[in-house]
Amino acid sequence: MDGIQIIAVYEEIMLVTGKMLVAAKNSNWDELAILEKECSVLTEQLINTDSKTVLSDELIQKKVKILHQVLNDDAKIRTITEPWMERLKFIR
Report how far residue 4's alpha carbon sits from residue 74's, in angstroms, rounded to the nearest whole number: 24
3-state secondary structure of 12: helix
Domain boundaries defined on the chain: 3-89
Q: What is the pLDDT of residues 8-54, one digit of tens each?
A: 999 999 999 999 999 999 999 999 999 999 999 999 998 888 567 88
- Per-residue buried b or exposed e for 51-64, using 16+ beta carbons within 10 Å of the residue's own CB: eeeebeeebeebbe
C-beta of residue 55 within 8 angstroms of C-beta of residue 6: yes
More confident residue, 84 or 8: 8
pTM of the model: 0.87
Fold of 3-89: Methane Monooxygenase Hydroxylase; Chain G, domain 1 (1.20.58)
C-beta of residue 24 within 8 angstroms of C-beta of residue 81: yes
pLDDT value of residue 85? 74
Stretch 53-70: mean pLDDT? 95
Report how far residue 62's alpha carbon sits from residue 11's, in angstroms, rounded to the nearest whole number: 9
